[in-house]
Amino acid sequence: MNSASATGDLSPDEFRTAAHAAVDWIADYLESSGQYPVRSRVAPGDVRAALPAVPPQHGESLDSMLRDFHSTIMPGITHWNHPAFFAYFANSASYPGILGELLTAGLNANGMLWVTSPAVTELEEVTLDWLRQLMGLGDGWFGQITDTASISTFYALAAARERAGLDIRTKGMAARTDLPRLRVYCSEHAHSSIDKAVMALGLGHENLVKIPADEQFRLRPHALAAAMAADEAAGFVPLAVVPCVGTTSTTSIDPVVDVVRIAREHHCWVHVDAAYGGVAAIVPELQYLMDGVDGADSLVVNPHKWLFTPMDCSVFYTRDARALKQAFTLLPEYLVTSTSTEATNLMDYGIQLGRRFRALKLWMVLRAFGRDGLAERIRFHCELAREFAGMVHFEGGWELTAPVTLSLVCFRRAPEGANEEAIARLNAAIMERVNARGRVYLSHTKLASRYTLRLAIGNIRTDREHIELAWRELREAAQFVETSGERRE
């Protein structure tokens, strides 16, 4: 490594040159990301095989690293920033968010305690209160930033378990005969992060009760009430219910008002999974999506999904910060400070001690776009979804398989007279052909055992031309598969 620094690090001038080149490349990449194949075309092991098996003995130049980045790393990237990335909920990055991430890396601050960087804690508090207001939620919410919704949901159920008063924090759960069986409830269409949280917290996967959904894939309140009553009669203790504002497969909206009412009758925690759909409430005409949420105990929303903030940035809110703190707070002597008790030490509210300065990028996104700018882009994505749904609806031999609630369309090719097995093979082959061509990337799910394609719109750079491209690719792929007789067995 060519360096004049006694530390062995780069010189400031070398860093400036490389960083300026990297920023130029990022700007060019984001503006032309559509030229890449959306899904990586490498085979398993290709990237690893192209890299040395042993670490370098001597320092290497940044030029050589950047050459390898372009020649070896880039082919192994699936481009989530691609405007035709429709496979999963988007996590596209805006320029203000990227700038915030760059500054965060430069500062390298650790916000574990207030005193270790007061701005890290206090900017997080202010930014999350702004987001709360933008979504139309009332006062009284404590917020913190985690990495993903999986961790936010884990925290919610940990707080629920603590509030149940079973002294699990101290005594654990193993070999205890005094503990009741605890139950958690969610829709059959809820995200797998709930399953994982239940397993990780020692509640037992069989104690996660999946409640049947209605014809619009929403949790059925009467089924929930019946399940909880039956469990109590059998000696179980309902611990928490997790309704969704935007399920993963269909973006259906569970009836949060009813869920909260039923949960309160059984004295259990309500955690709202709005990881995808919550930020849509920034749009005034979509604020109804959060009806009932102010009656819940906790909530997760993911700005890195549909708020154009770089990975990772999940926001966890709770109305019972005391229970959350009781679940996790621990103060060894080496972390004792003389700071005023008015200061918040975010390490007390989760399992992590070290905390990145994630609030900076979200703060910059909120400031750069403002309420109107964010609402305009989210509204446009929902309009694009309705337009794509119209294309499907009015084309013979295709069908919508779920209501279009926000910016996701569930659909499939369904030739007249074909049985479900044949339809599943046909659509799997269509999706594979579309994805292999590299212009568009889709995913699938199953709804009531029906194989279904998903087109999820959420990338900040997605425009009408990209959904039109997706529809052309799908129709051409369907024609090819049907005329060639190609099917996935």
Q: How confident is the model at residue 423 (pLDDT cuts 50, 70, 90)?
A: very high
Q: Which of 331, 315, 474 lies closest to 395, judged by CA? A: 474
pTM across the whole model: 0.93
pLDDT tens sequence across 11-46? 899 899 999 999 999 999 999 998 999 999 999 999
What integer is the mean pLDDT of 468-473? 97
**Average model confidence (pLDDT) across the chain:** 93
CB half-sphere exposure, 321, CA atoms < 13 A: 13
Q: How far apart are CA 4 and CA 21, in angstroms?
A: 20
Q: Is the pLDDT of residue 73 over 50?
A: yes
pLDDT at 4: 53
Whether residue 489 has pLDDT greater than 50: no
Q: Is the pLDDT of residue 263 over 90?
A: yes
pLDDT value, residue 295:
97
For position 41, what pLDDT does the model report? 92
% of the chain at pLDDT higher than 70? 97
What pLDDT was estimated at residue 288?
A: 95
Distance CA 296, CA 259 (A): 9
Read off the pLDDT of residues 308-340 as tens digits, 9 standing for 90 and up: 999 999 999 999 999 999 999 887 777 787 776
**Predicted pLDDT of residue 488:** 45
- CA distance to 200, 225, 229, 296, 471, per residue, from 237 (Å): 19, 13, 10, 19, 49
**Which of the residue ranges 9-13, 272-276, 278-282, 431-435 would you say has the lowest mean pLDDT?**
9-13
Residue 75 confidence (pLDDT) = 95
The pLDDT of residue 336:
81
pLDDT mean over 365-381 = 97
* 250 pLDDT above the threshold of 60: yes
Q: Please tell me the predicted confidence (pLDDT) of residue 315.
A: 98
